[in-house]
Amino acid sequence: MKRKTSLRRLLVGCAAVGTLGSTALFAAEPSADAALKPGAPWNPAQSDRWVAVDGLGRSLPTFDEVGPTRPGKFVAAFYFLWNGRHGDAGPYDISKILAEHPEAKNDPNAPQWGKPYVPHHWGESIFGYYVGEDEGVLRKHAQMLGDAGVDVICFDVTNQLTYPESYRALFKVFSEMQKAGNKVPKVAFLCPFWAPDKVVRELWRDVYSQDFYSDVWFRWKGKPLILADPDFLGGPNLNPGGCQPVQLVPNGKLTQRFAADRPFVAVQFCLPTWSDANSTVDFVLCDKNGAVVQKRDAISLKDNAVNAVRFEALPAGEYEIELSNPQGGRVGWWSTPLAGDFDAEKYPEVASKARSNSGVRWLEARRDGKPENAVRLVAVVPSDDERDQILNFFTFRAPQPDYFVGQTKPNQWSWLEAHPQHEFRNDKGEIEQMSVGVAQNAVDGKLGVLSNPTAYGRSFHNGKEPAPEDCDFTGRNFQEQWERALKVDPEMIFITGWNEWIAGRFDINAPFHGATPVSFVDQYNQEFSRDIEPMKGGHGDAFYYQMISNIRRFKGVSKQESTGAASIKVDGNFDDWANVGPRYFDAVDDEVRRDSRGWGAGTRYVNKTGRNDFTESRVAFDDANLYFYVETREPFVGGPDAENWARLLLDVDENPGTGVNGNDFVVISAPDGKSLVLAKTNGDGIDASAPTTPVEHRVSGNQLELAIPRAALGFGEKIAPFRFKWADAIDVFGEWSGFTTDGDAAPNDRYYYRCVPKN
């Protein structure tokens, strides 16, 4: 690979090792000195201690800046399984199309576009145009999100598809990584907002009732978490299509009498409020004799939101729902008009044809006590054993689809909102959750399309989207949302999003606010997109490290230990390392190995550079030398004669602007292919004007040790804090993305270990 001459680039990257972190729900974490062994239940990689400077020159905060770890703080990330599940046409990269054909943005017939509704990529991931079952990518995702401090990834199954081919592959890889000794994010599902019944039951039958990889399920408040509204389980989708709003007047009443042919546990209704805020209504459910069996006063309403009243199972029979006493704003009830004049005897037959509802016969509707030739929009949720099992099995959190409305019921979570985001509380009134997003498909304060130039892009802040020339990729939208969430300090922060990448193509007639001649709703281009996963080129990994920085501010970090003096004999024995600390750990089973189909016919991604899997490092020093130790999962493969073999990178001045990629020195193979030397670097690679220094080393099995003269590193009487990392099968003089896409690095990607000597 060609050596690079410039250090100041927006480089692409990712990272590794997982963290799961549910102190209230999982076993206590062992100390940082716990042994790291394959199969161990815990990998004390302590990624929060690692240091890094991103491509924009921003450093990750440390213990001194954010303080110690804070139990009871959790982070979720919205995750997408659908890549490759909706055909393999293309890939059509919107950013590339617009760069080469800017006129295409206003021409839906431009030949560069895929067919209408076909998925288009907003850009290209560091891993290429991958598909959801690519195990090499899934392994990296486990590491990257775990390193960042993400506790749970929530799968998007809101479009009534669960993508089993993708989640099965992910469950398998995440479970393997966990069993190998890594701490990786757990998993949960975010289900359809208004009609979750099909998806929840499918997941119950295929995953949860089968105990399918239960070791990777995320648990919240003692049970597996599912983001679905339990009030909507078992009922039909309440669609007001064909209905008209009937307004409830003060001192008036609207009723609907019906007969249920089987026991039921809830009723649902959809009420318009004409966008009035603070509307409430009283609800009464009576039996056929007029006796009240359920009553709710002042139910809080949001315009056209589905409301549900749940109760213990009621037997089959005749009932009547009555709404009355509207307060705080207008209240109506969506109703379907019936043809012809009212006829009490024919009403059930006519009503059932106009508004069918399985298991229900409509008997009569009244307005202010008088029969009305209409049927109200209401649903009855029947009782069934499977539903009862589901309700008892999960911790439910109802997802709020809207970016502006805020919470409408207890135990509701947001997934994406406009700034300032609302607080979401549990049924105890505690602030439990808030969302943080990179960008929002909103236009003029309404849900819209990201292809509109006034949408809330990555640079949106202070209530407006900057002009194109003033946009950048410092994450102003993201940071503004983080500042709001950090100030409120909830238990859980939900981040949108990680790896959506695609959006279907629509035209100006799309039923979305702010539609453009060529419309894309949830993703569009580099500015108007909301993925954090590093992209190829462009802003690279800037948003990934911004996320990590803010997670550290939210969750705190563990304190770095210092290194004491010790003399090591470089003889391949290694016994003299036994009491040397601290121990610097890396992920297990993370060397790159990839062989998977990609997006598009005939596309395949193959990378077999993974060779030696680093697991643990140590450092010692005495008056003469610095000593380094590294261990691998299996016995070392290759030696100094192998390409890019076991290189040690040293940043002795902690300045990312010196040396190559911030590395002032590198231990590499000598020209003879039998020994190692220390070489000084400059911006072009190895500094040919500086002499190399022989480095004594020994390898035995899966252990390597070496000694570097202090003077060769420029250290005098005292050794200043410095940074180091190991790399195998990686071109350390190339782009930073190689530390993710090739071989193995310890620690991962831009990360370094930091050694603080006790002089």
36 pLDDT band, cuts 50/70/90, is very low
Rounded distance, CA 569 to CA 620, Å? 11
Give tens-digit pLDDT for 264-320.
Answer: 988 988 899 998 888 999 999 999 999 999 999 999 888 888 888 988 899 999 999
DSSP 538-584: TTTTHHHHHHHHHHHHHH--PPPPPB-------SS--GGGTT----E
Residues 6+ apart with CB under 8 A from 285: 267, 292, 293, 294, 295, 309, 319, 320, 321, 322
| Those residues with Cβ within 8 angstroms of residue 103's Cβ, 6 or more apart along the chain or in another chain | 110
Per DSSP, the three-state class of 600 is coil
Pair of tokens at residue 737? 């993305």
Q: What is the pLDDT of residues 690-708, one digit of tens each?
A: 999 999 999 999 999 999 9
Which residues lie below 8 Å from residue 229, measured CB to CB, with a gap of 6+? 193, 194, 196, 308, 396, 398, 399, 412
575 has a pLDDT exceeding 50: yes
Q: Which two tokens stand for residue 183?
A: 């701490």
Q: What CA–CA distance (Å, rounded) separates 179 from 673?
A: 37
Global pTM?
0.86
Exposed, middle or buried: residue 267 (CB in 10 Å: 0-12, 13-18, 19+)? buried
**pLDDT (tens digit per residue) in 605-646:** 999 999 999 999 999 999 999 999 999 999 999 999 999 999
Return the pLDDT at 713: 96
Q: What is the number of alpha carbons within 13 Å of residue 744 lying toward its C-beta?
A: 27
Q: How far apart are CA 504 and CA 70, in angstroms?
A: 41
d(CA 200, CA 206): 10
677's tokens: 């030397």
The whole-chain average pLDDT of the chain stands at: 91
Length of the chain: 759
Give me the pLDDT at residue 310, please: 87
- Secondary structure class of 712 (helix, strand, coil): helix
* pLDDT at residue 26 greater than cutoff 80: no
Enumerate the β-bridge partners of residue 189: 155, 226
Distances in whole angstroms, Cα of residue 418 to Cα of each of 46, 252, 699? 33, 37, 56
* pLDDT for position 347: 95
Q: pLDDT: is 33 or 127 the higher one?
A: 127
What per-residue confidence (pLDDT) applies to 234? 78
Are the C-beta atoms of 520 and 501 separated by less than 8 Å? no
- The three-class DSSP label of residue 463 is coil
**What pLDDT, on the 0 to 100 scale, is given for residue 22?**
27
Q: Vertex 621, ends 589 and 691: CA angle to 5°? A: 90
For every residue of 80-99, DSSP letters joined together read: ---TTSS------BHHHHHH
Asked if 254 contacts 325 with a C-beta cutoff of 8 angstroms, the reply is no
Tokens for 565? 């003096």
pLDDT confidence of residue 342: 84
- pLDDT > 60? residue 716: yes
Nearest Cα neighbor of 124 from 156, 163, 97, 155 is: 97
450 near 524, Cβ under 8 Å? yes
Domains of the chain: residue spans and CATH = 48-231+389-555 (3.20.20), 244-383 (2.60.120), 575-755 (no CATH)
| Euclidean distance between the first and the last CA atom of the chain, given in angstroms as a whole number | 40
So what's the pLDDT on residue 292? 97
Tell me: pLDDT of 120 over 60.
yes
Angstrom CA distances, 721 to 37, 561, 620, stand at 28, 12, 13
Helices (H) and strands (E) in the chain, counts: 10, 42
Structure confidence at residue 45 (pLDDT): 83
Q: How far apart are CA 294 and CA 546, in angstroms?
A: 50
- pLDDT given for residue 340 in this prediction: 85
